[in-house]
Amino acid sequence: MVLVAPAFTKIKTGNDITSAAYTITGALEQGRNYAIANNTYVWVGFYEEDMTATVPTTATPPYSGKGRVLIATVFSTDGTKIYDDSDPIAPLPPTRIKQFGKLVRIEGVHITDIGASPSPTPSPAPSPETLDGRPDWPYTYAAGIAADHFNRISSDSADTTRFPFTAQNYTFSKTVRFNSRGEANLNSTYSLKSAAELGLKPTHGTAIDSTSRNLIAIQFGGVGGNFKIYRR
C-alpha cells in the first residue's frame, strides 16, 4: 500500500450521518487490511473536539468537545505491538510508529453509546438488519459485572488505552488495535471482543441532537472483522 503524506480530509455530515458511518467503517477496514498485508500492528485512533475549534486540542477522555470527530491511523514500523499489556502506561514512541493515510475530520457527529436493541423484543420483531434488531452483545457480553462498556468506544466514556499515540498534534486515547491476523482489541489492552460497537448521533454545532431518530451503530467482531452498519 502506498503511504500518503499526512493531510486532512473533511467530511460535512449535518443531520445525515450515514456518510460518517461509512467513513469510520472504511478507516477500520483499511487499518485491519494494512495490518494483515504488512504483518504488523495498526492502531486506529478516535478523538472528538468542539466543532468550533480552530487549532488542535488536547484532552483526555471523556472528551468534553462535541461535534467534530478526528480519525488517525498509525502502524508499528518494526512489526511488533511495541508494549506488552503489562508494561507501564506510556505513549507509543514516535520513532516506532508511522502514520499512513490522511487525518480525517468528520463534522456534525458524536461518538457515544446509543443503547442496546429493545428488550423484550417488540412485536412484530424488527429486522435483524436494523438498529433495533441488531445483536446486543456489545451491551451484554463482558468479562465481569458492569464491564460491558469495554466492548464499546464512546467519547463520553473515561475508558482509555494504556498506550496512546500522537498524530498531527492530536493525542488519541481511544483506539482499535489490529494485529497481523486481523484481530481487534479495543483501546489496545483489553481482551479480544466477540462484538464491539461505535454508536453515532448527529450534532448541530456543538449540541447533540437528542431527539433525532437518525442514529447509527457500527459493529465488528474481534476475530473476523465483519464490519456492519445498523440504522433505522
Give the tens place of pLDDT for each residue, 96-151.
Answer: 999 999 999 999 999 999 999 998 888 899 999 999 999 998 998 876 657 888 89
Longest dimension (CA), the chain: 56
Give the residue numbers spanning the domain of 141: 8-231
Q: Alpha-carbon distance 218 to 48, whole Å?
A: 17
> Phi and psi of 152, rounded to 5°?
-135, 155
Whether the predicted pLDDT of 11 surpasses 60: no
Task: Provide the domain count of the chain.
Answer: 1
Q: What share of the chain is helix, strand, coil (3-state, %, to 5)?
A: 15, 35, 50
211 falls within a domain? yes
Please indicate, yes or no, if residue 72 is contained in any of the structural domains.
yes
The answer for residues whose C-beta is within 8 angstroms of residue 33's C-beta and 6 or more apart is 182
pTM of the model: 0.91
Mean pLDDT (the chain) is 89
Report how far residue 167's alpha carbon sits from residue 98's, in angstroms, rounded to the nearest whole number: 9
40, part of any domain: yes
Q: With cut-offs at 50, 70 and 90, classify the pLDDT of residue 199.
A: very high
* Distances from the Cα of 158 to the Cα of 55, 126, 155, 173, angstroms: 23, 32, 8, 10
Residue 1 lies in a domain: no
Q: Reply yes or no on whether the pLDDT at 10 is more than 90.
A: no
Helix (H, G, I), strand (E, B) or coil at 125: coil
Q: How many CA atoms lie within 13 A of 83 on its CB side?
A: 19
Q: Is residue 187 part of a domain?
A: yes
How large a percentage of the chain has pLDDT more than 70? 92
Residue 196 pLDDT exceeds 80: yes
User: Which residue, among 196, 228, 225, 169, has the nearest Cα to 31 in the 3D structure?
Assistant: 225
Domain contains 23:
yes
Record the cell numbers describing residue 218, joined without a space. 457500527
Residue 2 lies in a domain: no
Instruction: Classify residue 82 by its DSSP letter.
Output: S
87 occurs within a structural domain: yes
